[in-house]
Amino acid sequence: MSPLFMTLVLAVGLAIFGRTMYQRILLLMALEPADRFNHIKDRLKNLVVIALGQKRLVGRKKERASGIMHALIFWGFCVLLIRSITLYGEGYVHGFQLPLLGESSILGYLYIALKDIMEGVVLLMVIYAFYRRMVVKPPRLHNTWEAYLVLGLIGILMVSDLLYDGSRFMLITAHGNPGDLHFFNNPTFGQEFLWTPVTIAAGNVISGFSPVGLERVMVLMFWVHIITQLTFLNLLPLGKHFHVITSLPNVFLKHLGYPHEKIKLLDLEDESVWEDETLGVNHLYQLNWKQGLDLYTCTECGRCKEVCPTYVTDKPLNLHDFNDTLKAELYANADNLILRAKLAKTLTGDDEADAKIKEKMAVFKPEKALVGEVIALDTLWACTTCRACEQVCPVTIEHVPRIIAMRQGQTLMQGQYPEELNTAFKGLERNGNPWGIGYDKRADWAEGLDVKLMADDPNVEYLLWVGCAGSFDDRTQKVSKALVKILKAAGVDFAILGTEEKCTGDFARRAGNEMMYQMMATENIEVLNGYKVKKIIAACPHCLNTLKHDYPQMGGHYEVIHHTDFINQLIAEGKIRVKKSLAGVLTYHDPCYLGRYNEIYDAPRSILGGLSNQGLSELPRHGTESFCCGAGGGRMWMEETIGSRINVERSKEIVAENAETVAVGCPFCLTMIEDGMKELDKDEQVKTRDIAELVAEHLA
């Protein structure tokens, strides 16, 4: 077309884009390190399934229509990326063709056909997207000018390219190709336009134009397309559409194995960390670069808040605002953060010299306190760590570890945390349980049940980890007793630790009290390793999760199985038999730490299916999208004073299903849902039972 103009447009467009991206990358590099370049094969698999395959967009039944819409626009963009290269080439060379995709190959023809259809599809999807935003107005969406602008730009991109091709088609086919325009023409595959129905339709729209008019349209549309594309590219890093660039890397770099980055094991003995406030996230620069990339990538789609138990019960935690606020703060302090990081690199390890550097570094501290001013305390403490947000996030943002790290800063450094946690922490410190009941009463529930203690027989096959609730809470003690009955019926060789067991430290860790957690973990691991424990049956998903995933960081390596998984195995192996005689509507509430954290969804269902004579009825929110009871992340030990109560919200859902029995597999869920039923005055109609209790009652 015009090499000079093309060069000018490209130079300006790419230079500005390059500068913005350079700043964004520098900012990420100024943050803390994170190791995310291992296990490339697994990462590529995630990239293909989650990002390219759009699994979390198309895969959710509830959001299928909008998911398909997004996927089609995304796939359309992938296809059109190649077309763009051809167009830039066209700016320099008349009839530019890419190798393999030229007119001599069937691939070239297949590509133009695909490109033609995808342009039409994307255009339709853009119209649907406008309709959704303007007419349907889903509550999770932020209706911003940016959203409309970007949709508009995508629309212009499609229309301009179609009209460019359409005018070319008209000139070639209806007016004898006056400008000697290039088009595919291969004796085997025929002429280009036989393969492009959408282009023909576009051409027909402007068929009334004269050849001169058509030529003008063609040139105009070419440049409109090129300039729109470069404008679009430059707008992306400025707002939420940055995800167009960052989501693929973000998915590729997501945490592997455990569902999100594990809580960092902090070195509390190092005196300098206490002086330098380096424990947890107290300041922006303590975020790691992957957490920064998460913030860049947040698309503000609002799926996270829609499934968040705190947001739907009117608490101040609104995850996309949370991300947006942090991102804005990151951008606002970008220069300072980069300068600070440069200084940090000059630290020598020599105390005296470093003191001066640290003094200079302190100048670059952001004005506002990260927690308290940027993020409100109530927002930070609302989270139940249920992971519903992470499970639905299409771009795999890890919200929870960031929240816990910020809580660490508050609990360890600032001493700012909900007052009610005091009692629980004190109980943990003195008696190894959050209630603070005398530790010597821990095994009282087992009196008369003839349960062995590890101290008496350290060679048993299994250790039964009872947990604090199972040991001290009247209601949950019944679950412990039921479990003992099942294990005895199956002839399992097991023992308990009795007064040697302490809280695993789960809630303390998730409330940011790493010190209390490490205290509990150290003592427990010492006892467990002392007895050479190998296999543990955990009667609580929180204990399970901590024993299985947290303790290895501190040298505790065990094979840990949740009691529902174990009971399911006992049934499958024929070691116990159950009667299929449970009457009435039975439903199941998935505990977050059993389901989303440990992916145990089938075992409880398989057991319950074998008990109920009418089969298990699923709740509307179940499995990976189960709704939290409200007690995770230390919330069990905090007051819930803002908004409505999470457990009541969940109980209402259970009542609406006409359930007569709701099964759970977690002592917190048991307490919360039973309390919810009482609050609704439905505790007589709907019985909340642990799966172990139901099995024990139906042993054949």
How near is the Cβ of 128 to another protein at its closest, in Å? 53
419 binds another protein (CB under 8 A): yes
DSSP secondary structure of 447-497: TTS-PPBTTT-TT-SEEEE-HHHHHH-HHHHHHHHHHHHHHHHTT--EEB-
Nearer residue to another protein within complex by CB, 410 or 688 = 410
Region from 223-231, 439-447, 455-463, 634-642 binding another protein, contact rule CB under 8 A = 439-447
Nearest distance from C-beta of residue 246 to another protein, angstroms: 35
Cβ closest to another protein, residue 258 vs residue 435: 435
Give exposure, 109-126, as e/b (b: 16+ Cβ within 10 Å): bebbbbbbbbbbbbbebb
| Footprint (CB under 8 A) of another protein, residues 487-526 | 499, 513-515
**74 near another protein, rule: CB under 8 A:** no
Applying CB under 8 A, does 411 fall inside the site for another protein?
Answer: yes
Tokens, residue 257:
């194995």
DSSP class of 688: E
Nearest distance, CB of residue 441 and another protein, angstroms: 7
Span of 170-178, 186-194, 306-314, 425-433 interacting with another protein by CB under 8 A:
425-433
**Counting contacts by CB under 8 A, is residue 430 touching another protein?**
yes
Q: What is the rounded end-to-end Cα distance, in angstroms, of the chain?
A: 84
Query: Could you tell me where the DSSP H helices lie in 197-276?
Result: 197-205, 211-235, 243-252, 271-275
**What is the pairing mode between strands 190-191 and 185-186?**
antiparallel
The answer to the question of residue 441 lying near another protein (CB under 8 A) is: yes
Stretch that binds another protein, among 274-282, 486-494, 535-543, 584-592 (CB under 8 A): 274-282
Considering only 440, 457, 602, 618, the residue that binds another protein (CB under 8 A) is 440
User: How far is Cα of residue 361 from the mean position of the Cα atoms in its chain?
Assistant: 33
User: If DSSP states are collapsed to H, E and C, what string results for 547-593?
Assistant: HHHHHHHHCCCCEEEEHHHHHHHHHHCCCCCECCCECCCEEECCCCC
At closest approach, how far in Å is the CB of 260 from another protein?
A: 24
Residues 607 and 610: their CA atoms lie apart, in Å, by: 5
Q: Which residue, 220 or 437, is less far from another protein as judged by CB?
A: 437
Report the distance separating Cα 651 and Cα 666, nearest Å.
15
**In whole angstroms, how close is the CB of 644 to another protein at the nearest point?**
27
User: How far apart are the C-alpha atoms of 297 and 237, rounded to whole Å?
Assistant: 10
Euclidean distance between CA atoms 291 and 299, whole angstroms: 14
How many chain residues bind another protein (CB under 8 A)? 27
Q: How far is C-alpha 350 from the chain's CA centre? A: 41
What's the min distance (Å) between Cβ of 353 and another protein? Answer: 23
Question: Of 95, 102, 237, 436, which lies in the binding site for another protein, with binding defined by CB under 8 A?
Answer: 436
CB of 383 to another protein, least distance (A): 20
* Residue 312: CB minimum distance to another protein, A: 32
Out of 426, 534, 577, 579, name the contact with another protein by CB under 8 A. Answer: 426
**CB of 366 within 8 A of CB of 283?**
yes
Q: Residue 21 or residue 268: which is nearer to another protein going by CB?
A: 268
Q: Which amino acid is at 573?
A: E
In this chain, which of 33, 176, 349, 415 binds another protein, going by CB under 8 A? 415
Options 144, 422, 641, 685; binder of another protein; rule CB under 8 A? 422
- Can you tell me the distance from the alpha carbon of 282 to that of 270, in angstroms, rounded to the nearest whole number? 17
Could you give the dihedral angle defined by the CA atoms of residues 288, 292, 293 and 295, in that order, rounded to the nearest 10 degrees? 140
Q: Does 271 bind another protein (CB under 8 A)?
A: yes
Site string for another protein, 4-43 (x = CB under 8 A): ----------------------------------------
Q: Based on CB atoms, which residue is closest to another protein, 413 or 576?
A: 413
Binding mask 363-402 for another protein (x = CB under 8 A): ----------------------------------------
Task: Name the phi and psi angles at 406, rounded to 5.
Answer: -70, -35
Where along the sequence are the contacts to another protein (CB under 8 A)?
Answer: 268, 271, 274-275, 279, 411-415, 419, 421-422, 425-426, 430-431, 436-441, 499, 513-515
